[in-house]
Amino acid sequence: MLKIIFLITLYFNSASVFSNERPPWFIPPPLDPTGVELETKKLDEGVYALLSNTPFADNAGFIVGKDCVLVVDAHFNGEMGLQIIEAVKKVTNLPIKYLVNLNAFGDHVFGNYVFPESTVIISHEKTLKFLKDNSLDARKKIISVTVEGDMNVFKDVKDRLPTLTFSKKMSLDLGEKIVELHYFGPGMSPSDSVLYVPSSKIAWTGNLVFGKGSIPWARSEQLRDYLETMKNFEKTIKPISIVSGHGKIADENIVEKYINYLNDVIFMSKQLHEDKKNINKFVTKLSLSSKIEIEDDIRDLMEGFHKWNVLNAYKQLN
Ligand SMILES: [Zn+2]
């Protein structure tokens, strides 16, 4: 049964990439929030990361101004959303005025419904469009692959959608604390957004940039678009610390690393295409160059991402 769910989900997610084949080497990101605890880590005055205690389950965060609080991402279900609210309460009694969803996936959105009614939920316009175009049940199915098909993880989730959107950039004043929301272009998904606190040079990158020792995953988008997006990112903001939606806190070098990696994969795929390689066979044996720094606890996952990226880049040349 799990296999069938996986097959359907993968097809649903990436029909353009894999048609109805299931790549046997692909490991879905392990995002099950069951038992996950979020550690509050103060990064600067009023700037807090909420870090998951398992390698790839979602991180979140919050920014505290003089007047109010902004929360970054709502996590996977109501239980996790409440954990975020509790973490905020331990630091401040100020109201959570804003909640930002950095992309449209359930693990960033499904906790929305436990936040106070007065909290304004913000996302990129493409995130809201996706949420409106796909029913809650359909979105649960899409993300179920990351929890081994265990729909109980989000059985209590009620739909609550953002009510405020942005297209390129939005600035929010929390009271002597400015927070910026940026859209640099498609990356892992069509609507990956980045939150930036300029006074602290700290960014939250959702799924666009994973944590320390990661590579990108061009899940559904064109690799050359992802590359342009990362170049835009590099031109526009210069964070010294990056809190990713998944993985450990990274430093600024990861942006350059992603750009180089995407360049290399695009180049490699062109070579393979010219040589008329049997791409499906090729990727099965492919592994990451030892020059690319990968964290040990996510190595297998990253190897799967790498294969996916190369196959994706190759097929996009057709
Ligand atoms: Zn995510």
Rounded to the nearest whole angstrom, what is the distance from the C-alpha of residue 107 to the centroid of ligand 1?
6
Q: How far is the CA of 171 from the centre of ligand 1 (A)?
A: 23
Helix (H, G, I), strand (E, B) or coil at 169: strand
* Mean pLDDT rounded to a whole number for the chain: 93
pLDDT tens-digit series, residues 6-58:
443 443 344 333 333 458 899 999 999 999 999 999 999 999 999 999 999 99
What is the predicted pLDDT for the residue at 22?
A: 55
Residue 104 Cα, ligand 1 centroid: separation in angstroms? 9
What is the torsion angle, in degrees rounded to the nearest 10, for the CA atoms of residue 81, residue 87, residue 92 and residue 96? -10
**pLDDT of 20:** 37
Taking residues 179-192, what's their average pLDDT? Answer: 98
Could you tell me the distance, in angstroms and rounded to a whole number, from the CA of residue 92 to the centre of ligand 1? 27
Is residue 30 packed enough to be buried (19+ CB in 10 Å), middle (13-18) or exposed (0-12)?
A: middle
- Mean local confidence (pLDDT), 286-291: 95
Residue among 19, 28, 9 at smallest CA distance from 315: 19
Please write the tens of the pLDDT for every residue from 93-140.
999 999 999 999 999 999 999 999 999 999 999 999 999 999 999 999
Query: Which sequence spans correspond to the domains of the chain?
Result: 2-315
User: What single-letter amino acid sits at 113?
Assistant: Y
User: For residue 193, how far is its CA from the centre of ligand 1 (angstroms)?
Assistant: 11
Q: What's the confidence (pLDDT) of residue 23? A: 82
Output the pLDDT for position 126.
Answer: 98
Shortest CA distance to 168 belongs to which of 124, 209, 226?
124
Structurally, at CATH architecture level, domain 2-315 sits in 4-Layer Sandwich (3.60)
- State the distance from the centre of ligand 1 to the C-alpha of 186, rounded, in angstroms: 14
- Sign of the Cα torsion 112, 117, 122, 128 reads positive
State the distance from the centre of ligand 1 to the C-alpha of 291, rounded, in angstroms: 26
Share of the chain above pLDDT 90, in %: 91
